[in-house]
Structure 1
């Protein structure tokens, strides 16, 4: 006969009875987790006018920066052009100084050739002429030109008159003779031609004037 206090059943298994108060206490001790509530703030309405102003300011700053970049690029391009122009001008001035120093050498060659015009010095003259021509050709490649003067109208930009000679056979102001050749380098006068100029005697009827052509 089984003991009513024995927790085993007829088959020998242990049976447990839960006290109602204990069950309620257990349920109270471990309540179900409440549903998770999002911590994000509820969406607010956008301030469209403020955003529009910010966008306008950003676009204005962008345009200002773009204009500044364009100005900087233009300034740099102008700077490069100025540097190149100055370098070219410096080189041209250096060439002009060198050629100006060589002009007396050309004068010496011309005087030497004019002084030895007889047949005795023919071979000597030919060699001298060859050297003179080589020197002249080298200088001409750099742009050296001789100023034409004889028979031209006197031009103070290209000619320097050291004597005025009365003449009724020439127009007043005509260059009669070149005493020293003048030269120009790329239209810039290195040395004016030294010349004698015709002038009409007092009371003589002047001849018709021709069109001036002094620098050619």
Structure 2
């Protein structure tokens, strides 16, 4: 046994930290042919985020449209309620005007009623109520109600309002009450 040569055992250290750096530099890094799982998840996340942002933008636009429509509808409802309230007050004005016309004898009564009529008319005007003054204008069935005709001797007064029996009122473009009028009719 002594004749034999000692056996030489070679040990290759394959541990990472034991490798020579020059071997590591030469090692080829495999090419990425397909996206890794993390990159795929990142792409999906970005796509989902983009879709959510678009949906959020649409919802915000829809919400703004809804708010504007709700505001318009609320304003219309307020105007209708205001019209109902003020329509009842117009009768008070009519009665004051009748009392003023009937009180020819008592000057003080007439002055007092005139002041009340003027005050009430000013209050209505401050609320946006306008008086329809159709005398001398061509008859407009959208603003006045013809309750009769009066013969006129001038052709330019034919089909024109010549007398107002009851004033008409409107708020902006909305008619509250049409004027009750007599219309001129030209006879040759």
The runs of 5 or more residues in structure 1 that have no matched partner are: 1-34, 205-216
Instruction: Show the counterpart of 1:114.
Output: 101
Instruction: Show the counterpart of 1:182.
Output: 168
> Following TM superposition, by how much is the alpha carbon of 1:60 offset from its aligned partner in structure 2, in angstroms?
3.2
Q: TM-score scaled to structure 2, two decimals?
A: 0.75
Aligned partner of residue 136 in structure 2, secondary structure: coil
Instruction: Show the counterpart of 2:4.
Output: none
**Count of matched residue pairs:** 164
2:57 to 70, 78, 95: 70
2:123 to 131, 135, 138: 138
Shift >3 Å, 4+ stretches: 35-38, 43-60
Alignment partners' CA distance in 2, 1:176 and 1:53: 85
1:60 to 43, 47, 51: 47
1:80 to 60, 64, 67: 67
The alignment's C-alpha RMSD in Å is: 2.7
> Following TM superposition, by how much is the alpha carbon of 1:188 offset from its aligned partner in structure 2, in angstroms?
0.9
Q: TM-score scaled to structure 1, two decimals?
A: 0.66
> Following TM superposition, by how much is the alpha carbon of 1:48 offset from its aligned partner in structure 2, in angstroms?
3.6
The runs of 5 or more residues in structure 2 that have no matched partner are: 1-12, 17-28
Aligned partner of residue 151 in structure 1, secondary structure: coil
Instruction: Show the counterpart of 2:7.
Output: none
For the 8 Å contact 1:170–1:198, the answer to whether it is kept is no
**Structure of higher CA gyration radius:** 1
- Residue by residue, what CA displacement relative to the aligned partner does 1:145-200 show, whole Å, maximum 9, x if unpaired? 10011111111111111112232224220111111111111121111111111122
1:196 to 179, 182, 187: 182
Alignment partners' CA distance in 2, 1:170 and 1:53: 89
